[in-house]
Amino acid sequence: MRKVFLCEYIHPDAYAFLKAHAEVIREWDRLSEAEALINRNLNISNEVMERAQSLRVIGIHGTGVDDVDMEAAKRHGIQVFSVPHLNSRSVAEMNVALMLALGRKIVQADRRLTGRRQNGRGEDLMAELQGMELCGKVLGLIGVGDISRQTADICRKGFGMQVIGWSRHLTEEKARAMTMTYAPSMTEVLKKADVVVVGVALTPETRHLIGKEQFGQMKPEAILINTTRGAVLDEQALYESLAGGAICGAACDVFVDEPVSASHPLLTLDNFIATPHLGANTEEALKRVGMAVVQGVLERLDIQR
């Protein structure tokens, strides 16, 4: 029976399907026996691959492959695959949930009522918690992949928001087909948007894509949402921009180092919301992604089902 290494949670239906067709290894000291590995949040380095001497396949439980040393995988002859788009709806809904939480100051209100934060300057509570409507506002997309497009669809149809988008590969024709306004530069999106949603994959080119200069181009009343990868933002620049009032608020489901430390400076700010990489953490998405990655592993190991 084929051996598959799995030490992270996957949907119970996917786990049962995997266990019915392969031996599941969960102990690190047995990693060398595994012919395949299913990865959610582990850092699969060259050192890990050298320990996994029988490894032929790495299946990514999701879209991004940035946690895997792809050059090392190539050298070791290990096939790496992902299962993109299957969690897009859940992450899109997370984007909307975070923009609502920021816009209506829901988390800030909870902190006040539960006594975890005191009124900042002794002002009237209702004045402090005054929010904004999303209706008629401009949604700005940095990256127009599947998650961003689904986010735009919800915001356009549900809130009557206008949508403007930019990516390196977007054209006016493609933008029209997506029912959004084409922006020739990221700067134009940042200057016009009331809500900025970051939706680019993490690559060497996109690391710290948005930093001090870019935050300075946003409206002071604008909010920013990041559910893609933490390192796309310069976290220190984001902290300084929020603390100094350059932008109104931000919410991040992802951080450079995860799990995020309780001492992270961003977590001290009242106009910042943090969640622990929950974007795709729904029953529906986990089942779709889990079943797809298990099936992909079994197919690549030539297991007859």
The catalytic residue positions are 229, 258, 277
- Assess contact for 230 and 176: CB atoms under 8 A: no
What sign does the CA torsion over 262, 266, 267, 272 have?
negative
d(C-alpha 81, C-alpha 59), whole Å: 5
Contacting residues for 71 by C-beta, under 8 A, at least 6 apart: none
Look-up: residue for tokens 């700005």? 140
d(C-alpha 65, C-alpha 60), whole Å: 7
Q: Looking at the chain, how many residues does it have? A: 305
DSSP characters for 93-160?
A: HHHHHHHHHHHTTHHHHHHHHTTSS--SSS--HHHHT-----TTPEEEEES-SHHHHHHHHHHHHHH-
DSSP 273: E
